[in-house]
Amino acid sequence: MIEYWNPLVERMPLDELEVIQEKKLKDLVKYVYQHSEFYKERFDDFGVKPEDIKSLDDLKKLPFTYKSDLRDTYPTGMFCVPNEQLVRFHVSSGTTGKPTVVGYTQNDIDVWTTSLARAMTSIGVGRGDIMQIGYGYGLFTGGLGAHYGAEEVGATVLPTSSGNTDRQIELIQDLGSTVIACTPSYFLFMNEVSDGLGISIKDDTTLRVGIFGAEPWSEEMRTRIEESTGIKAYDIYGTSELSGPLFTECHCQNGIHIWADQFLIEIIDPETGEQLTEGERGELVITTLAKEALPLIRYRIGDITVISKEVCKCGRTHPRIMRVLGRADDMLIVRGINVFPGQVESVLMQIPEVGEHFMILVDRLNELDIMKVQIEMTDEAFSDKVNDIIKLEQKVASDLKHVLNIAVKVELVEKGTIPRSMGKAKKVIDNRSL
Amino acid sequence: MEDKIIKQISLFAENKPGRLAHIADSFREAGINIRAFTIAEAGDFGIIRMVVDKPDAAHNVLHDSGFTVSETDVLGIGMEDVPGGLGMIADVLGKQDINIDYAYAFVTKTEKALLILRVNDIEAAIGILMDSNLELIDMSDIQEI
């Protein structure tokens, strides 16, 4: 098993990487100014010219781009190349609004694939592995993205896409899949279904690695998954606007490596837009340094995280972002308090009696927001004493209140009541009409 | 002593229409007979407890229909269906510091009443009840009721 996909680049000292970044940034601003009417106007309105960008420090002089820009210029208004240079389109699912279209040149596909090849190598996935890809194939970037990356590192791809869960489990067994890539919600569902079939993922399959993403998940969920299924669970990160899933944690499971020769990251104060320093929590902003069709300058991806530039124990020098608990779009405001579904998950997964699936319901009653969390109980936790169940509900409510600072009504529902998902799980039902 | 223990089926059910019918239907299909039955209701949910003729089969049927279900060890005591029967049992156990978690009773075809008890110390309770010459019912009796 090889340790690095590209040792020279992955272990390059950060100051040398920054020299590359600086050169690529200067080229990029010239490129977008010249090739995209959108960026030219944006720069002009902002009073900045490509020549003003002389160093990495000048990055802060550039305007931000937003998901709304992609929507406003739907479908291809921000593209820097004519359609005949594109080899592919992906279209986002529009979970948080109108869909957005992303186009790729051959080079864009190659950069994307390389990014994932480095990532997969960093978690020990490569030749000899059978990777079952349970992300949806098609307009969604998850399936095809993981597919190209896996082929690049020499793994054998089993392109199951999502759904048909009994078949997924049968194939894990029959072909001896060693790696599974899907949403964490879907893997939990698979685990539940296979339990029902009397198959233990831990004892009866050769699965050893899970690559889980496309939705936020907590460290506590990782512990649950690893303990119950015996696999190593890794977080994969990306978004369709940036190409798709791009980065993962390495085998150290301590932050996601963002390849600095291809992407430039900053953390800003989401309110003021000011750059924050390493280690400060804020909103992640990404500039693509190698994309041709749809380069993004200072893209406000909306995730709240922390950057670490410390060299990782694995030897990689590229900066890491720490676990993302939720995208700003997923944030709920309940009685004026910010709540991320990820925080709820993190509390619930620390209580062994609580099952992996949950639903947050928000209603407004007499001008007051009411937040309810539905949970299921594990089979082992069921006592036939009413008091024990009431105590469990009270414990969950009190732990949630402690972390979220708002009162939450906890409702224990029958096993299987909370909808299972084969893709991105819906964890919030907001019935307020604001 | 083991054989004096009755396997009670307990299951978690949300308090909503149709749940009980669903359970009854799956039992009918599986040919399982309910001997004693009670619901402890607590607002949004309830715990259904029952003594059936085939507890293991009942457990499987309910588990396979997706219920959270467990088998709980309880005691069954035959009582003369006359005033004072229950008081005597409670008295014997109370004196020996055995706590009754819950209890429910039903009347059998043989003019006896049957009391189902969950206690905090089942082994001790069996000893005490046998010493007091009370009639403990076992699983084979349950099948014949």
> Any chain A CB within 8 A of the CB of B25?
no
CB A415 within 8 A of CB A355: yes
CA distance B4 to chain A (A): 20
List, as one string, the DSSP characters of B53-84.
S-HHHHHHHHHHTT-EEEEEEEEEEEEESSTT
B118 contacts on A by Cβ (under 8 Å): 384
pLDDT surpassing 90 at residue B118: yes
Q: A385–B101: do the CB atoms touch at under 8 Å? A: yes
**Phi, psi angle pair for B29, to nearest 5°:** -60, -35
Which chain B residues are closer than 8 Å to A359 by Cβ? none
The distance of A356 to chain B (nearest Cα, Å) reads: 15
Query: Which amino acid is present at A195?
Result: D
Q: Mark yes or no for CB contact A385/B47 under 8 Å.
A: yes
**Mean pLDDT on B46-71:** 92
d(CA A286, CA A72): 20
pLDDT at residue B144 tops 80? no
Kindly identify which residue of chain B lies nearest to residue A195, measuring between CA atoms.
B64
Q: Which of B14, B66, B72 sits opposite A384 (nearest CB)?
A: B72
What is the model's pLDDT at position B1?
61
Interface probe for A, chosen from B12, B63, B69 (most Cβ of A below 10 Å), is: B12
Of B40, B47, B68, the CB nearest to A379: B68
Beta strand A354-365 pairing with A368-377: antiparallel
> What distance, in Å, lies between the first and last C-alpha atoms of chain B?
21
Cα–Cα distance measured from residue A343 to residue A207, given in angstroms and rounded to the nearest whole number: 29
- The predicted pLDDT at position A336 comes to 86
Once rounded to an integer, what is the mean pLDDT over residues B111-134?
90
How far apart are the C-alpha atoms of B47 and B27, rounded to whole Å? 17
Q: At what angle do helices B85-95 and B122-131 cross, to 10 degrees?
A: 120
- Could you report the predicted ipTM of this complex, rounded to two decimals? 0.85
pLDDT of residue A94: 65
Task: Tell me which residue in B42, B70, B118 faces A382 most closely, judged by beta carbons.
Answer: B70
Residues in B touching A411 (Cβ below 8 Å): 44
pLDDT value for A10: 98
* pLDDT average, residue stretch B23-40: 91
Task: Specify the DSSP element, H or E, that contains A234.
Answer: strand A232-239
Q: Are A267 and A282 in contact (CB under 8 A)?
A: yes
What predicted TM-score, i.e. pTM, was given to this entire model? 0.87
pLDDT score of B2: 65
Predicted pLDDT of residue A138: 94
Give chain B positions within 8 Å (CB) of A397: none
Residue for token digits 């406000």? A300
- Distance, in Å, from the CA atom of B69 to the CA atom of A125, rounded to the nearest integer, reads 40
Contact assessment for residue A59 and residue A26, using Cβ atoms and an 8 Å cutoff: no
Determine the pLDDT at residue B18: 85
Per-residue pLDDT of chain A in tens (434 residues, 90 and over written 9): 689 999 999 999 999 999 999 999 999 999 999 999 999 999 999 999 999 999 999 999 999 999 999 999 999 999 999 999 999 999 986 656 678 999 999 999 999 999 999 999 999 999 999 999 999 999 999 999 999 999 999 999 999 999 999 999 999 999 999 999 999 999 999 999 999 899 999 999 999 999 999 888 999 999 999 999 999 999 999 999 999 999 999 999 999 999 999 999 999 999 999 999 999 999 999 999 999 999 999 999 989 899 999 999 999 999 999 987 677 778 899 988 889 999 999 999 999 999 999 999 999 988 899 999 999 999 888 988 899 999 999 999 999 999 999 999 999 999 999 999 988 888 999 999 75
pLDDT band (50, 70, 90) for residue B3:
confident
Containing H/E element for B125?
A: helix B122-131
- Residue A166 tokens read as 């009994």
Q: Chain A residue closest to B48 (CA)? A: A384
What is the pLDDT at residue B22? Answer: 86
Domains and CATH numbers, chain B: 2-73 (3.30.2130.10), 74-144 (3.30.2130.10)
Q: Which residues contact A69 (CB under 8 A, 6 or more apart)?
A: A38, A78
| Mutation site, A193, A379, A383, A384, interface B, largest B CB count within 10 A | A384
Nearest residue in B to A384, CA atom: B10
Q: For residue A307, give the nearest of A349, A347, A247 by alpha carbon.
A: A247
Secondary structure string (H, E, C) spanning A373-416: EEEEECHHHCCCCHHHHHHHHHHHHHHHHHHHCCCCEEEECCCC
Domains of chain A in sequence order? 1-328 (3.40.50.12780), 331-430 (3.30.300.30)
